[in-house]
Amino acid sequence: MTHTRTQCVTLPATAHEAPIELPAIGQGTWYMGEGLAPHRDEVRALQQGLELGMTVIDTAEMYGDGGAEEVVGEALAGRRERAFLVSKVYPWNAGRQSAIDACERSLSRLGTDCLDLYLLHWPGNIPLEETLEAFERLREQGKIRRYGVSNFDVDELDALHALPGGGDCAVNQVLYHLGSRGIEHALRPLMQRLGMPLMAYCPLAQAGQLRNDLFDHPVVRELADGLGITPAQLLLAWVTRPVGGHRDVIAIPKAVQPTHVEENAAALTVRLDDEAVARLDDAFPAPARKVPLDIV
Ligand code: NDP
């Protein structure tokens, strides 16, 4: 392992935006704004993460029924320009007019007049043409800078890419962690061919048994101990590792505890060497055939 400068991922230029470099680890907000942790702790955690360089903040109208967007809005008051702000629209709100209305509600909760990136949260029944049209109108109105999708598998991404405006889709946000590598078979290679970065959600496997299996796995423990890092940092360094010499994954761990925020930010400078990556490949092999996209 070597510690280097902050690892970055470049979002390519679109028809209207120049390329932008973003730190490879940002911050998630699912379960914020729901009263599970004190509101002020959540606000402080996002501000701490921002100070430490995790400037990509991911939220959604879904999280806490808008409560998470309010937490983010409070965290960014007076410092909006320092963040790259991402929110998401429910599939059933992604129509020609309903997406505009949903975005305006999000902007109001977030206390800003523009999102850096607006995502369709998952594929739904409203024709994608309508959603793309609405995204394009929001862009023309200066309410969003880029748009993208989430939870899109290979066929859905192919279909999207064939539509007018589909080529400007900036990212696909999908579940990806050491214990869930299904996307490596076909989806990630497709995204690499399209030059589309990936946002990895649940990079720490969230909670429950799977997470304990990962954090307490003997290979994870041994490697992390040997490198002087925590299992969480190992997982973040792994998920954001370059593939084919190209770094194209932005992980968005959610953390409220200050030590977690600090650890996650410090993982921005951790680089795993080939030997560590190979040991993790042996312990957690990628599937050899296409598996359905993992979704929370
Ligand atoms: P994560 O894998 O990020 O796990 C979050 C959990 O990990 C929290 O319990 C947090 O605890 C804990 N944690 C954070 N940092 C550390 C650390 N360094 N060591 C140990 N534990 C740690 O799961 P999420 O489901 O939150 O996924 C991340 C984000 O992805 C979401 O918040 C959301 O923004 C996005 N997402 C998108 C989805 C989509 O459909 N597009 C679906 C799911 C998530 P604590 O908070 O107490 O610090």
Nearest atom of ligand 1 to the alpha carbon of 59: 34
8 Å CB contact between 33 and 49: no
Q: Which of 43, 117, 121, 204 to mutate to test the pocket of ligand 1 (most atoms within 8 A of CB)?
A: 204
- Regarding the beta carbon of 48 and ligand 1, being less than 6 Å apart is answered no
pLDDT in tens, 146-187: 999 999 999 999 999 999 999 999 999 999 999 999 999 999
Would you call 176 a catalytic residue per the annotation?
no
How far, in Å, from the CA of 214 to the mean position of ligand 1?
14
**Cα–Cα distance, 77 to 200 (Å, whole number):** 26
The CATH number fitting domain 2-283, selected from 3.20.20.100, 1.20.1070.10, 3.40.640.10, 3.40.50.1970? 3.20.20.100
**In this structure, what is the dihedral angle of CA atoms 64, 231, 174, 114, given to the nearest 10 degrees?**
50
pLDDT band of residue 245 (cuts 50, 70, 90) is: confident
Summarize pLDDT for 23-42 with one digit per residue, the tens. Answer: 999 999 999 999 999 999 99
Sign of CA dihedral 198, 203, 208, 210: positive
In 36-107, DSSP assigns E strands to 56-58, 84-89
pTM of the full predicted structure? 0.97
3-class DSSP string for 166-186: HHHCCCEEEECECCECHHHCC
